[in-house]
């Protein structure tokens, strides 16, 4: 059986992360900062990631990154003859979710 493991990180600046967290969860800046500081530092997440999408840019560029990633994953998956199509389907669903939820 062929396995595919990758750690993906969608990167944004700490300022953007705080703004989005405060808006999404109705937190104060102090509460949002506490949550962010409790996590692994962004630089460490980027260093450990196999795939990094830059979410600090505009939506069109993020959409293009997701599109490129989708096509690269399809290329890799199709190249693995033993890879089950269910994994390809799962990857496609995740990327479509990323495209439509983050970019809408």
pLDDT the model gives residue 45? 85
pLDDT the model gives residue 3? 47
Tens-digit pLDDT profile for residues 48-84: 887 788 888 888 888 888 888 777 777 766 666 555 5
Helix-strand-coil percent breakdown of the chain, rounded to 5? 65, 10, 30
- Evaluate the CA torsion angle 62, 67, 71, 77 in order and state its sign: positive
- Give the phi and the psi of residue 11 in degrees, each rounded to 5: -95, 140
In terms of pLDDT, which residue wins out, 91 or 53?
53
pTM of the model: 0.60
pLDDT the model gives residue 77? 65
The mean pLDDT value for 85-98 works out to: 68
């Amino acid at each position: 059986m062929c396995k595919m493991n990758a750690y993906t990180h969608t990167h944004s600046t700490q300022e953007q992360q705080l703004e989005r967290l405060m808006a999404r969860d109705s937190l104060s800046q102090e509460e949002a900062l506490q949550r962010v500081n409790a996590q692994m530092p962004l630089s460490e997440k980027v260093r450990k990631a196999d795939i990094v999408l830059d979410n600090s840019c505009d939506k069109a560029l993020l959409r293009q990154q997701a599109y490129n990633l989708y096509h690269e994953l399809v290329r890799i998956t199709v190249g693995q003859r033993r890879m089950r199509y269910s994994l390809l389907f799962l990857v496609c669903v995740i990327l479509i979710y990323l495209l439509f939820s983050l970019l809408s």
